[in-house]
Amino acid sequence: MTHDTTSEWRPALNWRVRPATPGDLEGILTLQQECSEAPHWSTASWLQILSGQQGCRPIRACFVVEGEDKAKSGQLILGFSVACCAGELSELESVATLLSARGQGLGRTLCRQVMEWSRVQGARTMELEVRASNAVALALYRTLGFAEQGARRRYYRDPIEDAILMTADLTTVQRAGELRAGE
Ligand SMILES: CC(C)(COP(=O)(O)OP(=O)(O)OC[C@H]1O[C@@H](n2cnc3c(N)ncnc32)[C@H](O)[C@@H]1OP(=O)(O)O)[C@@H](O)C(=O)NCCC(=O)NCCS
């Protein structure tokens, strides 16, 4: 997997965002378990994504935010985002942050990373689907420049619910590298 965004430490909050590696699998699976709203992918699917073994096109990128795990004196995966890019169109497939780490800007940073990665890959538009009831995610996406384009009726199961389809113009979004630390 090729990533053009370099990792960046955020000293104020003691976390950093970086491209994911196969070593992040356990932390990602733990986080996925906690997030009922995020798509639940199998270990095999995650390993494919994290090892970059997915054929040529479309291509995927996964970024993680890691922070200090004071209890274990190690690093903890606080969030992840995944995007899939094919030509001029990219899809934000998943974003999630640890319940205890929410509201600190991690979700926005993770989205911006995959948006910037997609832009560098040549994508001009990013699309996504989100549960109509997921007010937090809808608010997050709007702050990132996504606009609602319509709905897919009864798209989700357990529970059955409409999906809101949103798109963003990647040619006008702010670049991840231009963010201030901690933003
Ligand atoms: C959606 C999610 C990733 C947001 O992560 P986060 O780290 O809390 O997000 P941020 O701190 O970067 O917040 C960014 C914006 O999200 C929105 N937001 C965050 N928490 C919110 C809350 N409790 N209520 C309303 N809006 C909220 C706001 O617009 C916020 O911008 P602001 O700080 O300028 O008000 C997180 O809530 C999550 O993991 N949810 C479960 C998985 C999910 O729903 N994923 C999306 C569908 S795949």
Largest CA distance in the chain: 46
pTM, full prediction: 0.89
Q: Whose CA is nearest to atom 44 of ligand 1?
A: 37
Q: How many domains does the chain have?
A: 1
Residue 94 belongs to a domain: yes
Q: Is the CB of 139 under 6 A from ligand 1?
A: yes
Indicate if ligand 1 lies below 6 Å from the C-beta of 103.
yes
Question: What is the domain extent for residue 117?
Answer: 14-173
Establish whether residue 96 lines the binding site of ligand 1, counting it when its CB lies within 6 angstroms of any ligand atom: yes
Whether 167 is covered by a domain: the verdict is: yes
Residue 123 lies in a domain: yes
5-10, Cβ contacts within 8 angstroms, sequence gap of 24 or more: 5/63, 5/113, 5/116, 5/117, 5/120, 5/176, 5/177, 8/181, 10/181, 10/182
Does ligand 1 have an atom closer than 6 angstroms to the CB of 104? yes
Number of the ligand 1 atom closest to the C-alpha atom of 130: 47
- 38 Cβ contact partners less than 8 Å away, ≥ 6 residues apart: 32, 94, 95, 96
Region at 11 (left for phi over 0; alpha for psi -120 to 50; beta for the rest): alpha
Q: Tell whether ligand 1 has an atom less than 6 A from the beta carbon of residue 131.
A: no
- Segment 19-42 shows an average pLDDT of 93
30 Rama class: left (phi>0) / alpha (psi -120 to 50) / beta: alpha
Most confident region among 57-66, 91-100, 172-181 by mean pLDDT: 91-100
Of the pLDDT bands very low, low, confident and very high (cuts 50, 70, 90), residue 183 is: very low
Residue-level pLDDT at 37:
85
Q: With bands split at pLDDT 50, 70 and 90, how would you rate the model's confidence at 179?
A: very low
Q: Place 182 in a pLDDT band, splitting at 50, 70 and 90.
A: very low
Mean pLDDT on 153-181: 82
* Ligand 1 site, residue 106, Cβ cutoff 6 A: yes
The chain-wide mean pLDDT, for the chain, equals: 87
- The DSSP annotation for 115-159 comes to HHHHHHHT--EEEEEEETT-HHHHHHHHHTT-EEEEEEEEEETTT
CATH at residue 125: 3.40.630.30
What does DSSP assign to residue 174? P
Is the pLDDT confidence value at 14 over 90?
Answer: no
Residue 10 to residue 94: CA distance in whole angstroms:
23
Cβ atoms 38, 63 nearer than 8 A: no
Q: 163 in ligand 1 pocket by Cβ < 6 Å?
A: no
Residue 152 lies in a domain: yes
In a domain, 3, yes or no: no
pLDDT at 2: 38
**Over the stretch 67-116, which tens digit does the pLDDT of each residue have?**
987 777 778 999 999 999 999 999 999 999 999 899 999 999 999 999 99
Q: Please indicate, yes or no, if residue 99 is contained in any of the structural domains.
A: yes
Is there a domain that residue 91 lies in?
A: yes
For residue 23, pLDDT over 80 is answered with yes
Q: Which atom of ligand 1 is nearest to the CA of 110?
A: 12
Only one residue has tokens 């995959």, namely: 114
Domain for residue 8, yes or no? Answer: no
Ligand 1 mean position, distance from CA 131 (Å): 14
Q: Is 118 in the pocket of ligand 1 (CB under 6 A)?
A: no
Q: Identify the residue with better confidence: 42 or 57.
A: 42
